[in-house]
Amino acid sequence: MPKVLIIEKENILAQMYKDRFEQENFLVKIASNYQQGLELAKEEKPDLLLIDILNPAKEDPDFLNELKENKQLSTIPVVILSNYEEPRNLQKAFSQIKDFFLNTQFTPSQLVERIKPYLKQ
């Protein structure tokens, strides 16, 4: 069973994503902040990280750097969700992440379908 770690500050959204992933037989862990997410990622070794970033210019840059530089975490595919729409800031912030960015205008079901191919690699 694929394991997904969701890092989402909004509990309602995190639970919606969790419920939908579990319907597709994913194991799901939730972290409500970046520090907890890093600890859980190291502990649980998920197959994919799903991270909600509200504004990359104001988010914790150390978090993204640690994902990139930590040997244990750097091979985990990362999907970033964000409503932030400033392309230059998105490109700069997300250039540290090797996988992909999604605008959050997806239903939980659409999100699961978009992520499945990353778990088959």
pLDDT bin (cut points 50, 70, 90) of residue 12 is very high
**Whole-number Å distance between alpha carbons of 114 and 82:** 15
Domains of the chain, by residue range, sit at 3-119
pLDDT of residue 75: 85
The arrangement of secondary structure in 3-119, i.e. its CATH architecture, is 3-Layer(aba) Sandwich (3.40)
Distance of CA 117 to the CA centre of its chain: 15
Helices (H), the chain: 11-23, 34-44, 61-69, 87-94, 108-115
Q: What is the DSSP string of 42-77?
A: HHH--SEEEEE-S-TTTS-HHHHHHHHH-TTTTTS-
Residue that wins the pLDDT comparison between 29 and 52: 29
| pLDDT single digits (tens) 40-90 | 999 999 999 988 876 555 555 567 778 778 888 888 888 877 766 655 555
**Structure confidence by residue, pLDDT tens digits, 102-115:** 555 677 888 888 77
pLDDT at position 3, please? 95
